Amino acid sequence: MSKMQQTCTYALKVQDVCGCFEFLGSRDSGEKLHSRIVELLGSQENKDMKLELDFNGVCGVAHAFADEVFGLLFARFGVEYIKTRIVLSNANDTIKSMINFAIKERIKKARDTNGI
């Protein structure tokens, strides 16, 4: 990216995609959010865009949800993609811990599969 280009950030309320639930537990909800993230960040015109995922109103997420969203993003794009393109806002420590756990499990699975 040249110095003249600026990275824009698009804010996405998680509850707008997954429903107005305080706890997100299903893979179906996770698949909806995962698909929306890939749709927004995957296009060539949005290659420099960052995505802010706003967890306002969400108190917790289940492992199935976190794996469907973040575990599969890791498996598809790698951890640097997540670190550089996605920002979490209003995510409490419980949500962050579950997301980190899902990603760590995918990393372990990849290492076990590849014999690393």
DSSP 50-103: EEEEE-TT--EE-HHHHIIIIIHHHHHH-HHHHHHHEEEES--HHHHHHHHHHH
Q: Residue 44 — pLDDT band, cuts 50, 70, 90?
A: confident
The yes-or-no verdict on residue 3 having pLDDT over 50 is: no
Rounded average pLDDT over 83-99: 97
Q: Where are the domains of the chain?
A: 19-111
Residue 6: per-residue pLDDT: 62
The yes-or-no verdict on residue 89 having pLDDT over 90 is: yes
Please give the share of the chain, as a percent, with pLDDT higher than 70.
Answer: 93
Q: Distance between CA 45 and CA 16 in Å, rounded?
A: 23
pLDDT averaged over every residue in the chain: 91
The yes-or-no verdict on residue 76 having pLDDT over 80 is: yes
